[in-house]
């Protein structure tokens, strides 16, 4: 959970140095709401493009590099097409994500299919469109063969080293508790079996720690995987063609955090590459990444309006968004910074709970948050919702998903997904004729 006292301390240390700046102004919001009422998710085209360019440049030293954007983070075709302009592919984990990527014209090696507990029909479709299948479990080798027959020429396996993974800055996670991936013994046996069955090109994938705010994570993971790939080559005579570092590179949700520097991260991976792979005659191995949060997170925000205030045992500000629009704070206390539009330089001298309308007491975007005085009608910008924001929305209490809007580089606004209507909510009740008269 977020430490309120720490936030107050940060504010006292200096608002100008520590505060997060929104990419949209009050004046721009006021113009947008003339056409699209709050709440809505807003995306920064300029920021997305600059970041995608930086990622491409950071790994330009590796000729085979490709970023496979994690579609689950932000499944919007307009945004996916922007990333494609910078060479990005799609990391998919379900049938519908595969269909979305394919409908946008992606096929073959542009699509990575990394799923778990996978239904047979999804393997069939992934194989049909030529996606690279990244298997999550040893038993899936037999399951895949029974499902599609002959194996594709390229296959990838997901590795889980088990234990506890610790970085130099104290960030820890526990791969041993995760449901994903092969053990080392299963991995070696899996590659041997796939080679016997005609697979010619092999990849490896691993995801160990979530949302790291450190430049050390990718280089640390890279060393683990690079050394493992050298061992696979020496013991099995199998050369790994691509190494997928997956996601885990996080963003600075809190104002006192120092954001990751993707160019430093890329250089760190290059250093380990040259130390481990090049001497092993593996200097042509391609590096892949699957960043969702880092690619899109800071370049989206949830714009909502203050519509109620309540004075009881605490001070509450009720907004027209709710956890159905952004569930991360409600389900696990995730911190999202909040800016009151037009009051960016006002003192944060009021303590509020910022809440939504769901019949759940956890429907809170902030608890005991120090903010400027909020007046009814003020617009609140909830930062860093560009990944795992809209995509995790739901319809509890009959709440409807909001619109998605792209703030163009020229300052204009483009609707890239309309808001849901009651007709959408009732669309699956085809057997109830009475419903048709309600919408």
Q: Tell me how far apart the alpha carbons of residues 379 and 338 are, in angstroms, rounded to a whole number.
A: 10
362 is catalytic: no
For residue 48, CA distances in Å to 44, 108, 258 come to 6, 25, 19
On whether the CB atoms of residues 200 and 154 are closer than 8 A, the answer is: yes
Q: Which of 301, 322, 348, 359 is catalytic?
A: 359
Cβ count within 10 A of residue 70: 28
Task: Kindly give, in sequence order, each residue whose CB lies less than 8 Å from that of residue 279, ignoring residues fewer than 6 positions away.
Answer: none
Q: Tell me how far apart the alpha carbons of residues 352 and 343 are, in angstroms, rounded to a whole number.
A: 15
Handedness of CA 242, 247, 249, 251 (dihedral sign): positive
**What is the C-alpha radius of gyration for the chain, rounded to an integer number of angstroms?**
23
Which position has the token pair 């005579």?
237
DSSP 267-306: HHHHHHHHHHTGGGT-TT-EEEE--SHHHHGGGEEEEEEE
DSSP 164-231: -EE-TTS-EE-GGG-S-SB-HHHHHHHHHHHHHTT--EEEEE----SSB-STTHHHHHHHHHHHHHHH
Q: Which of the residues are catalytic?
A: 359
């Amino acid at each position: 959970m977020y430490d309120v006292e720490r936030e107050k301390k940060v504010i006292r240390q200096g608002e100008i140095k520590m505060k997060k700046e929104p990419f949209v102004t009050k004046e721009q919001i006021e113009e947008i709401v003339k056409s699209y009422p709050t709440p809505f998710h807003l995306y920064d085209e300029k920021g997305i493009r600059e970041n995608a360019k930086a990622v491409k440049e950071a790994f330009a030293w590796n000729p085979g590099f490709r970023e496979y954007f994690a579609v689950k983070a932000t499944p919007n075709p307009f945004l996916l097409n922007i990333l494609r302009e910078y060479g990005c592919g799609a990391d998919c984990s379900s049938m519908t994500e595969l269909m979305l990527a394919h409908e946008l014209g992606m096929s073959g090696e542009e699509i990575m299919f990394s799923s778990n507990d996978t239904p047979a029909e999804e393997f069939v479709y992934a194989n049909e469109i030529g996606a690279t299948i990244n298997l999550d479990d040893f038993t899936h080798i037999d399951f895949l063969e029974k499902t599609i027959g002959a194996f594709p020429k390229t296959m990838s396996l997901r590795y889980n080293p088990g234990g506890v993974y610790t970085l130099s800055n104290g960030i820890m996670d526990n791969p041993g508790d995760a449901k994903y991936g092969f053990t080392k013994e299963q991995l070696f046996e899996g590659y041997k079996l796939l080679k016997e069955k005609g697979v010619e090109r092999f990849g490896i994938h691993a995801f160990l720690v979530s949302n790291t705010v450190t430049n050390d994570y990718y280089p640390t993971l890279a060393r683990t995987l690079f050394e493992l790939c050298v061992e696979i080559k020496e013991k099995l005579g199998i050369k790994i063609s691509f190494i997928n570092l997956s996601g885990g590179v996080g963003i600075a949700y809190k104002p006192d955090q120092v954001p990751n520097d993707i160019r430093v991260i890329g250089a760190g991976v290059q250093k380990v590459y040259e130390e481990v792979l090049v001497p092993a005659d593996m200097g042509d191995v391609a590096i892949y990444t699957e960043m969702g949060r880092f690619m899109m997170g800071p370049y989206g925000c949830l714009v909502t309006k203050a519509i109620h205030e309540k004075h009881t045992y605490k001070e509450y500000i009720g907004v027209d968004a709710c956890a159905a629009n952004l569930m991360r704070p409600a389900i696990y206390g995730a911190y999202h910074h909040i800016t009151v539009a037009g009051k960016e330089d006002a003192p944060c001298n009021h303590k509020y709970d910022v809440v939504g309308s769901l019949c759940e007491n956890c429907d809170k975007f902030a608890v005991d948050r120090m903010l400027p005085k909020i007046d009814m009608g003020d617009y609140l910008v909830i930062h860093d919702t560009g990944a795992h924001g809209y995509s995790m929305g739901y319809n509890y209490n009959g709440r409807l998903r909001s619109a998605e809007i792209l703030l163009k580089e020229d300052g204009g606004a483009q609707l890239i997904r309309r808001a849901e209507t009651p007709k959408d909510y009732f669309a699956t009740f085809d057997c109830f004729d009475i419903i048709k008269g309600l919408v």
